[in-house]
A and B are shown apart, each in its own frame.
Chain A
C-alpha cells in the first residue's frame, strides 16, 4: 500500500512538472509582446527594456521557468491585463460557483446513474430496463447544452419552476442558491449519469454471475439483498473509475453550462479571457484546471485502492 502510494505520488509529481512545462512553453507561443502590451505602442526602446527587466523577460529561459513556478507557488498569478484585478481575486470569486455546480452535478449523476443501473439489472428483459437503456443512449447522444436551452425554454420560461439564469451564492442563501443551481446541475449531470448507468449495469451483470453470489442466493438471501450487498459494492469501484475518467468532460461541460445559464463561474472567466486575449488569466486558468485535474485524479486513485485493495500499481491496465 505504501509502495503503491509512493509510486502514484511520484508519477503525479512528474506529470505536474511536465504539465507546467507545457503551460510555460505554451504561454510563450502566444502572439504579441507582453512588454509592448504593457507600455503601449509609442513606448521608447529604453522603456521597453525597463519593462522587460521588470518582467524578467531578459533572463535565461530556465531562470524564467523557475521564477514562473516560484510565483505560482506563492500564489502570485499576475494581474488581468483587461481589468488590472489580481488574477487570484478573479479566481477566488468565480471558482466557488463552478465547484458548487460540479459537486451538485456529480451527486445528481451518481445517484441517477447508479439507481438506473440497479433498475436495469434488477429488471433485465422487462420494460424498466428498456427505459433505463433508452435514457442512457439519449444521455450519451444528446448534447447537454441543447438540453439546457430546452430546459430554460420549457421548465424556466414556460413553467416558471426555476430561474432561467443567474446565481445566488450558496454561502449566503443556501436554499435560493441550490434552487438556482438545480437546473444547471441536472443538465450538466445527464451525460455523466448515462455513462455511470451503463457501467454500473455492466459491472452488476458480471458480479451477479459470480460463484459467491450464487452461494449467497443458495443460502436463501433475497435477490434484492444480494444486489445491494454485493452488486452495489462492486459497482462503487466502477463509479469511482468513471468519475476519474470523466472529470475532463465535467469541466468542459461546466464551462458551457455556465454560459447557457449565465452563471458567473470559472468557465465564464475562461471564455472571457480567451475572447479578450487576457493572457495572464488564460495562463492561470489553464494551470489551475490542469493541476486540479491531476490532483483529483491522484485522489481518485488513492480512493480506488482503498475501496479495492486488490489494485496495485504496475498492473497491466
Chain B
C-alpha cells in the first residue's frame, strides 16, 4: 500500500483527459461513429438555430398554397393541408425533440446518479432503492405520461417528465454497477483506510470515475426519449398543436397520407436521423470510454 501518496483524483482526471484523446482516436478510425457525430452536429445546430434556418414560423398558414409538392419555390419540402411549410415545421420539431430529449436525460441523470451511488456504496440502502426502482419499472413511460396528462393536461414538460422518470431505473442500475466496481479499487480502499467519510469518497473518487458510464448511458437514453416524444405527441399526449413537433406532424400527415405521402415521410426521416446519429455516436463513445476496452483497472 505504498500508492497512498498518489492523489486518486489525479488518476481520474488523467483518465478523463485520455478518454477525450481515445474518443478522438476512436472516431478517426471509425467512419460510422464520425458519421454519427456529424449527423448530431447538424441536428443540434438545426435545433439551436431554428428561427434563423426556418423560412416561416412553425404554425404560419398559407391557405392559398396547401399541399404544395416538395421542390415548389419557397417551400423546399412542400406544404401540408393548411399550407404550412413542412421544412419550417420540421426544423422547429427537431428543436422540440432535442428539448424533450435533453430535459428527460437531465432528469434521469440528476435523480438516477445519486441514487445509484448510494445503492452501490451502502448495501443497506440497496434493498430500499431496488424496490423503488422496481416500482418505477412497473409503470411504462406511456402510462406515466397518461397519468400526468390526466392530472395536469398534456404538455411538453409532462412528456419530458414521463420519459425521464421511466429512464431513472436504468440510470440507477448503471451507476450502481459502476460504484460496486470502483468501490473495490485500490484508491478507494486507501481512502477508506485514511478514514475518509463515505460521502467524501463517493463525490471525490467514485463519481468522477462513473462519469464515462453516465455519459454513454445518456447517449443511449437520448434516442429513446426522442422517439418517445414523437410517440407521445403523435398520440396527443405531448406538446399541443398548433406548436410543431415531429410526432404532431406525423399524426396530421396520417389523415391525408394517400394525398400527400411526403408530408408523412420527411418528419419520420428527421426522427430516424436524430436517433441514428445518437446510436452511431454513442457506440463510438462506448468503444472509446468502455473500461473493459482499455488497460485502465
Measured CB to CB, the residues of A under 8 A from B are 11, 14-15, 18-19, 22, 26, 29-31, 137-138, 140-143, 145-146, 149-150, 152-153, 157, 247-249, 251-252, 255-256, 259-260, 270-271, 274-275, 277, 279, 282, 285-286, 289-290, 293-294, 297, 316-317
The distance in angstroms between the C-alpha atoms of A285 and B145, with both chains bound, is 13
Known: A11-B134, A145-B231, A277-B150. A290 touches B271 (CB 8 A): no
- Count how many pairs of residues, one from A and one from B, have CB atoms less than 8 Å apart in the complex: 135
The distance in angstroms between the C-alpha atoms of A97 and B48, with both chains bound, is 43
Known: A26-B151, A140-B279, A282-B150. A15 touches B131 (CB 8 A): yes
Q: How far is the CB of B102 from chain A (nearest CB, A)?
A: 18
A152: contacting residue among B139, B231, B257, B280, CB under 8 A: B257
Q: How far is the CB of B265 from chain A (nearest CB, A)?
A: 7
Q: Nearest chain-B residue to A249 (Cβ)?
A: B140
Q: Contact at A255–B142, with CB atoms within 8 Å?
A: yes
Q: Which residues from B are CB-within-8-Å of A30?
A: 150-151
Q: Contact at A259–B143, with CB atoms within 8 Å?
A: no
Q: Contact at A143–B271, with CB atoms within 8 Å?
A: yes
Q: Contact at B271–A153, with CB atoms within 8 Å?
A: no
Q: Nearest chain-A residue to B120 (Cβ)?
A: A316
The distance in angstroms between the C-alpha atoms of A152 and B151, with both chains bound, is 34
A274: contacting residue among B137, B150, B257, B275, CB under 8 A: B150
A251: contacting residue among B140, B151, B152, CB under 8 A: B140
- 18 more CB-based (< 8 A) A-B contacts, given A30-B150, A141-B272, A146-B267: A11-B131, A11-B134, A22-B139, A30-B151, A137-B279, A138-B272, A141-B275, A145-B250, A146-B272, A149-B264, A150-B265, A252-B143, A271-B146, A271-B235, A271-B236, A274-B146, A289-B139, A293-B137
Q: Contact at B264–A150, with CB atoms within 8 Å?
A: yes
Q: Contact at B230–A19, with CB atoms within 8 Å?
A: no
Q: List 18 A-B contacts (CB under 8 A).
A: A15-B131, A15-B135, A31-B152, A138-B272, A143-B271, A146-B271, A149-B250, A149-B253, A157-B258, A248-B139, A252-B141, A252-B143, A259-B235, A271-B235, A274-B237, A277-B150, A279-B150, A293-B138
Q: Which residues from B are CB-within-8-Å of A252?
A: 140-143, 228, 231
Q: How far is the CB of A95 from chain B (nearest CB, A)?
A: 15
Q: Which residues from A are CB-within-8-Å of B140?
A: 247-249, 251-252, 289, 293
Q: Nearest chain-B residue to A317 (Cβ)?
A: B177
Q: Contact at B146–A145, with CB atoms within 8 Å?
A: no
Q: Nearest chain-B residue to A147 (Cβ)?
A: B268
Q: Beta-carbon contacts of B249-262 to A below 8 Å, as 1s and 0s?
A: 01001100110010
Q: Contact at B258–A153, with CB atoms within 8 Å?
A: yes
Q: Which residues from B are CB-within-8-Å of A26?
A: 147, 151
Q: Which residues from A are CB-within-8-Å of B143?
A: 251-252, 285-286, 289-290
Q: How far is the CB of B40 from chain A (nearest CB, A)?
A: 13
Q: Contact at B268–A153, with CB atoms within 8 Å?
A: no
Q: How far is the CB of A244 from chain B (nearest CB, A)?
A: 10
Q: Which residues from A are CB-within-8-Å of B131?
A: 11, 14-15, 18
The distance in angstroms between the C-alpha atoms of A30 and B153, with both chains bound, is 10
Known: A18-B131, A289-B140. A143 touches B230 (CB 8 A): yes
Q: Contact at A282–B147, with CB atoms within 8 Å?
A: yes
Q: Contact at A143–B151, with CB atoms within 8 Å?
A: no
B118 at the interface (CB under 8 A from A): no
Q: Which residues from A are CB-within-8-Å of B138?
A: 15, 19, 290, 293-294, 297
The distance in angstroms between the C-alpha atoms of A290 and B142, with both chains bound, is 12
Q: How far is the CB of A206 from chain B (nearest CB, A)?
A: 12
B234 at the interface (CB under 8 A from A): yes
B180 at the interface (CB under 8 A from A): yes
Q: Nearest chain-B residue to A250 (Cβ)?
A: B140
Q: How far is the CB of A34 from chain B (nearest CB, A)?
A: 13
The distance in angstroms between the C-alpha atoms of A145 and B257, with both chains bound, is 13
The distance in angstroms between the C-alpha atoms of A54 and B151, with both chains bound, is 24
The distance in angstroms between the C-alpha atoms of A290 and B147, with both chains bound, is 12
B91 at the interface (CB under 8 A from A): no
Q: Contact at A286–B147, with CB atoms within 8 Å?
A: yes
Q: How far is the CB of A290 from chain B (nearest CB, A)?
A: 5
Q: Which residues from B are CB-within-8-Å of A145?
A: 230-231, 234, 250
Q: How far is the CB of B215 from chain A (nearest CB, A)?
A: 19
A146: contacting residue among B173, B235, B250, CB under 8 A: B250
> Which of A138, A248, A251 has most chain B Cβ within 10 Å?
A248
B166 at the interface (CB under 8 A from A): yes
